[in-house]
Structure 1
Amino acid sequence: MRVLVTGATGTVGRHVVDGLLRSGASVRALTRSPETAGLPGEVDVVRGDLTLPESVQPALADVDRLYLFPVPETAEAVMGLAAKAGVRRVVVLSSVSAEYAEGDLSGDQHRAVEAAVEASGIEWTHVRPGEFMANLLFLWAPFVKAEGVVRAPYGDAESAMVHEADIADVAVRALLEDGHAGAKYSLTGPEALTKVEQVRILGEVLGREVRFEELTREQTRELWIGQGMPPEAVDWLLTPPPKAVVGPTAEQVTGRPARTFAQWVADHRADFG
Structure 2
Amino acid sequence: MSLSAALRRREYMILITGASGTVGRPLVELLVDAGVKVRAVARNPAGLPRIVEVVDEPVLEGVTGLFTNPRAVGDTIDGLLAESRAAGVRRVVTLSAANVDDDLEDQPSRFRGDRNREVERAVTASGLDWVALRPNMFAANAFGLWAEQIRRGDVVHGPHARATSAPIHERDIAEVAVRALLDDDLLGTRPVLTGPESLTQEQQVQGIGAAIGRDLTYREVPPEAARQAMLGRGFPTGFVDGLLGIQARSVGVPAVITDEVRRILGRPALSFARWAADNAYVFRSMP
TM value normalised by structure 2: 0.87
Match of 2:142 among 126, 136, 146: 136
Tell me which residue corresponds to 1:43.
Answer: 52
The 8 Å contact of residues 64 and 90 in structure 2, kept in 1 or not, is answered as: yes
Structure 1 residue 205 displacement after superposition = 2.0
Verify: 1:5 aligned to 2:5, yes or no: no
Moved more, 155-164 or 123-132: 155-164
Query: Structure 2: how far apart are the matches of 1:107 and 1:135?
Result: 11
Tell me which residue corresponds to 1:66.
Answer: 66
Cα deviations across residues 110-139 of structure 1 (Å, max 9, x unaligned)? 221111112211110000000010000111
Query: Structure 2: how far apart are the matches of 1:102 and 1:224?
Result: 20
Letter in 2 for 1:146: R
Structure 1 residue 32 displacement after superposition = 3.4
Unmatched 5+ residue regions in structure 2?
A: 1-11
Verify: 1:204 aligned to 2:215, yes or no: no
Match of 2:86 among 74, 84, 87: 84
Moved more, 108-117 or 191-200: 108-117
Q: Identity over the aligned pairs, expressed in percent? A: 42
Q: Which runs of 4+ in 1 moved over 6 A?
A: none
Q: Given the superposition, is the C-alpha separation of residues 151 and 106 from structure 1 closer, same or farther in structure 2, using an over 3 Å criterion?
A: closer
Match of 1:18 among 20, 29, 35: 29
Structure 1 residue 255 displacement after superposition = 0.7
Q: Given the superposition, is the C-alpha separation of residues 269 and 223 from structure 1 closer, same or farther in structure 2, using an over 3 Å criterion?
A: same
Structure 1 residue 201 displacement after superposition = 1.9
The 8 Å contact of residues 105 and 242 in structure 2, kept in 1 or not, is answered as: no
Structure 1 residue 225 displacement after superposition = 1.5
Moved more, 109-118 or 17-26: 109-118
Q: Given the superposition, is the C-alpha separation of residues 137 and 103 from structure 1 closer, same or farther in structure 2, using an over 3 Å criterion?
A: closer
Match of 2:242 among 230, 233, 236: 236
Structure 1 residue 99 displacement after superposition = 3.2
SS in 1 for 2:75: coil
Letter in 2 for 1:60: L
Query: Structure 2: how far apart are the matches of 1:226 and 1:103?
Result: 20
The 8 Å contact of residues 20 and 43 in structure 2, kept in 1 or not, is answered as: no
Match of 1:251 among 262, 282, 286: 262
Cα deviations across residues 40-91 of structure 1 (Å, max 9, x unaligned)? 111111112xxxxxxx3xx111100011001442211221111111110011
Match of 2:278 among 260, 264, 267: 267
SS in 2 for 1:264: helix
Tell me which residue corresponds to 2:168.
Answer: 162
The 8 Å contact of residues 208 and 280 in structure 2, kept in 1 or not, is answered as: no
Query: Structure 2: how far apart are the matches of 1:22 and 1:182?
Result: 26
Structure 1 residue 149 displacement after superposition = 2.1
Structure 1 residue 107 displacement after superposition = 8.9
The 8 Å contact of residues 98 and 135 in structure 2, kept in 1 or not, is answered as: yes
The 8 Å contact of residues 134 and 193 in structure 2, kept in 1 or not, is answered as: yes
The 8 Å contact of residues 96 and 186 in structure 1, kept in 2 or not, is answered as: yes
Letter in 1 for 2:47: G
Verify: 1:126 aligned to 2:132, yes or no: yes
Unmatched 5+ residue regions in structure 1?
A: 49-55
The 8 Å contact of residues 166 and 258 in structure 1, kept in 2 or not, is answered as: yes
Q: Given the superposition, is the C-alpha separation of residues 38 and 123 from structure 1 closer, same or farther in structure 2, using an over 3 Å criterion?
A: same
Q: Given the superposition, is the C-alpha separation of residues 102 and 213 from structure 1 closer, same or farther in structure 2, using an over 3 Å criterion?
A: closer
The 8 Å contact of residues 95 and 107 in structure 1, kept in 2 or not, is answered as: no
The 8 Å contact of residues 159 and 194 in structure 1, kept in 2 or not, is answered as: yes
SS in 1 for 2:62: coil
Cα deviations across residues 184-240 of structure 1 (Å, max 9, x unaligned)? 010110000111212222222211121211122111111111222111111111112
